[in-house]
Amino acid sequence: MIEPFDDTYFMKKALQEAEVAFEKGEIPVGAVIVVDNKVIARGHNLTEMLCDVTAHAEMQAITAAANFLGGKYLKNCTLYVTLEPCQMCAGALYWSQISRIVYGARDAERGCINLNTKLHPKTAIEGGVLADEAASLMKRFFILKRNLN
């Protein structure tokens, strides 16, 4: 029997996606969606590249997971995302009926928790997994961006 991976393992995969976004000059948010201990979808922010304000990491991952599963519902799936989802992404996650959301760093200003965004009643959410690593990447990105402008 294969031992299950833990939340830290999958959050590291999401952080790898965030690094890809960083290298592309995108706000470094990364996401992976897991079912049965297997990554079925990956995503990172593409808002600048696609000129699309909805091209958040979570949205990319939701679309990829739905395509992989052949349906719009993400029951029995877990989203690992490096930053607490915004209101838009939380709304999409609500409609996907995802079972669980695990995020890294908190977004006190724009995150779904402070904005009291409703998640699906069957969706569990927890945060703080590798939060320091995720926050550090964001800080590094914005310091670099300010210094270039």
Question: Can you give the pLDDT of all 149 residues of the chain as single tens digits?
Answer: 455 689 999 999 999 999 999 999 999 999 999 999 999 999 999 999 999 999 999 999 999 999 999 999 999 999 999 999 999 999 999 999 999 999 999 999 999 999 999 999 999 999 999 999 999 999 999 999 888 76
Assigned token pair, 24:
């592309």
Under 8 Å between Cβ of 91 and 63: no
Phi first, then psi, for residue 123 (nearest 5°) are -95, 125
Domain harbouring 123, CATH code: 3.40.140.10
Active site residues: 58
Domain count, the chain: 1
Assess if residue 2 is contained within a domain.
no
Is residue 120 annotated as involved in ligand binding? no
Domain that holds residue 99: 7-148
The pTM (predicted TM-score) of the whole model is 0.95
Q: Does residue 23 belong to any structural domain of this protein?
A: yes
Residue whose token pair is 């992404």: 89
Q: In degrees rounded to 5, what are phi and psi of residue 108?
A: -60, -25
Q: Residue 51 domain-assigned?
A: yes
